[in-house]
Structure 1
Amino acid sequence: MTAQIGQMVRELLAGDLNAYPERTKALDEQGWNAFGEIVGAAFYRAVAQMLTPQADVAAFVAAAAAPYAQTPVAIDPSAAEALVRSVLGDDATVGQVLEQLDEPDLARIELVLLRRLIEDGNGAIKVDALVDSAQDEAAEFSGEAGVS
């Protein structure tokens, strides 16, 4: 399953992110778990690679969110900022965010931010390598490691 979900993540990162609701509507609980694990691992790696604790997180989030305002993938800036800050070591507000968001909302926010990190990276972040690595982590976590 992680291979199929990984492909979906690649397609969403490379294609039209506004297709997120349609592309993910058939996911069941197990599918959402795998999707969330892959997106979360990719998000964590990309933030850690591209941003520093001194980064202007609010400006980054605003730039990432702007293209998706008033669309099905619009994000809550305060939640997005808390997620980024948690990766950078400031987890003071992320607990409240995680309590309020379900897996689809969390993954949507992380995908929007990932798209911006990939764009800002000017090729430093390779989508296939990022998703492959995240997919491997998710497969290990789910017990699918070594399963084709």
Structure 2
Amino acid sequence: MTAQIGQLVRDLLTGDLNSYPEQTKALDEPGWNAFGEIVGAAFYTAVGRRLAGQQADVAAFVSAAAAPYAQSPVAIDESAAQALVRSVLGDDATVGQVLEQLDEPDLARIELVLLRRLIEDGNGDITVDALVSSAQDEAAEFSGEAGVS
């Protein structure tokens, strides 16, 4: 399952992210679990590579990432997005409230919007294929699918 979900994540990161609701509407609970694991692992890796150890202005980063999607099907809550980024950077004081309020589709949508910006800002040091492949491997290990073809 992680291979198909990984391809969906690749498609969303390289194609029209506004198609997120349409492309994910057929996911069932196991599909959403795998989708969330892959997107979450990719998000964690990308934030760690691009923003850790820097004096990044998280609010400015999130605002720039969110701007192209304002008033679209994938518009994001910027305060929730900031909490997610800060949690990866080690400040998890506000992320618990975000996790209580948002469901898996909302969290994945926010992470995808931010991932697109991280990839764009990465000057080629973060590629979609490498990021998603690594995230798929992590998700497969977590779900017990590792080694299953």
SS at match of 1:55: coil
Instruction: Give the equivalent residue in structure 2 for 1:56.
Output: 57
Deviation at 1:86, TM superposition (A): 0.3
Q: 1:123-142 alignment to 2 at 5 Å?
A: 123-142=124-143
SS at match of 2:56: coil
Q: Aligned partner of 1:34: which letter? A: A
State how far apart, in whole Å, the 2-side matches of 1:120 and 1:130 are.
14
Stretches of 4+ aligned residues off by more than 4 angstroms:
none
Instruction: Give the equivalent residue in structure 2 for 1:27.
Output: 27
Is 1:91 aligned to residue 92 of structure 2?
yes
CA displacement, residues 84-123 of structure 1 (integer Å, 9 cap, x when unaligned) = 0000000000000000010000000000000000000011
Instruction: Give the equivalent residue in structure 2 for 1:5.
Output: 5
Further displaced range: 121-130 or 23-32: 121-130
Aligned length: 148
Q: Aligned partner of 1:13: which letter? A: L
Deviation at 1:29, TM superposition (A): 0.3
Further displaced range: 31-40 or 51-60: 51-60
Q: Aligned partner of 2:56: which letter? A: A
Q: Aligned partner of 1:116: which letter? A: R
State how far apart, in whole Å, the 2-side matches of 1:139 and 1:48 are.
21
Instruction: Give the equivalent residue in structure 2 for 1:101.
Output: 102
Instruction: Give the equivalent residue in structure 2 for 1:38.
Output: 38
Question: Which ranges in structure 1 are unaligned for 5 or more consecutive residues?
Answer: none
SS at match of 1:72: coil
Question: Which ranges in structure 2 are unaligned for 5 or more consecutive residues?
Answer: none
What TM-score do the two structures reach when normalised by structure 1?
0.99
State how far apart, in whole Å, the 2-side matches of 1:121 and 1:145 are.
29
Deviation at 1:54, TM superposition (A): 1.9
State how far apart, in whole Å, the 1-side matches of 2:123 and 2:23 are.
27
What TM-score do the two structures reach when normalised by structure 2?
0.98
Deviation at 1:126, TM superposition (A): 1.1
